[in-house]
Amino acid sequence: QVQLVESGGGVVLPGRSLRLSCATSGFRFFDFAMHWVRQRPGKGLEWVAVVSYDGGQKYYTPSVQGRFIISRDNSENTVSLHMSSLSIDDTALYYCAAARSNSWHNFDYWGQGALVTVSS
Amino acid sequence: QSALTQPASVSGSPGQSIAISCTGTSSDVGGHNFVSWYQHHPGKAPKLMIYDVSNRPSGISNRFSGSKSGNTASLTISGLQAEDEADYHCSSYTSGNTPYVFGTGTKVTVL
């Protein structure tokens, strides 16, 4: 059974950092690119970042470029998102999602999300 | 990169068919056959329903179908059932300043 479980969410002050993790099981992790997608309150989904199957390629949406870092550990089947210089606009439910390496644009498997609230 | 445009809500009675539109530009929906659709019951993990415009993953009911014309993609749900009540999101690969863009989301209500 495929499972993706996000952790690390919480309430954080503006300007501070937070690290999200996503533990996966039930599929061949190495065969998949891994994404982070977020949903701000009352809004639609927004793509945030992706890392290739081997960690060699990483791409970010412009609003997080230079502040967020995506990484993966293929020995632990996990993907992480290190978020720094957080602002109120980063408040969202963050999902990790897996996409087969030959079709990064199809998000095959998703987690249930981790809530990040940036507030003073 | 602007979000793809979806209707905020669509409703139908059990057994009916409904269609959800997803409108973009020639840089995303119109320029690539890389449109996918996701069903999302709040509090649960989103689920891939349609990929590459019109393909169903294994295990997805054939009541769900996808199509595209120009810059607009559509998801059709036929034989509407109570369990279909959920939020639906489209997404597309894009040649814009971000490689992937999602729609604004549509809440489907089964009357």
DSSP of chain B, one letter per residue?
A: -PPBB--SEEEE-TT--EEEEEE--TTTTTT-S-EEEEEE-TTS--EEEEBTTTBPPTT--TTEEEEEETTEEEEEE-S--GGG-EEEEEEEE-SSSSSEEEB--EEEEE-
CA–chain centroid gap for B37, Å, is 4
Q: Percent of chain B at pLDDT above 90?
A: 95
CB contact under 8 A, B100 and A105: yes
- Residue A73 predicted with pLDDT over 90: yes
By C-alpha distance, the chain A residue nearest B36 is A106
Which whole number is the average pLDDT over A97-108? 93
Spatial contact of B106 and B7, defined as CB atoms under 8 Å apart: yes
The average pLDDT across A36-62 equals 96
B66 touches chain A (CB under 8 A): no
Task: Report which of A18, A25, A8 is spatially closest to residue A90, judged by C-alpha positions.
Answer: A18
The whole-number pLDDT of residue B85 equals 98
A 29-68 near B (Cβ less than 8 A) = 35, 37, 43-47, 50, 59, 61-62
Among residues A49, A67, A66, which one has the least CA distance to residue A58? A49
The per-residue pLDDT for range B5-55, each reduced to its tens digit, is: 999 999 999 999 999 999 999 999 999 999 999 999 999 999 999 999 999
- The residues near B66 (Cβ < 8 Å, ≥ 6 apart) are B35, B37, B50, B53, B54, B55, B73, B74, B75, B76
A–B CB contacts, 8 A cutoff, strictly below:
72
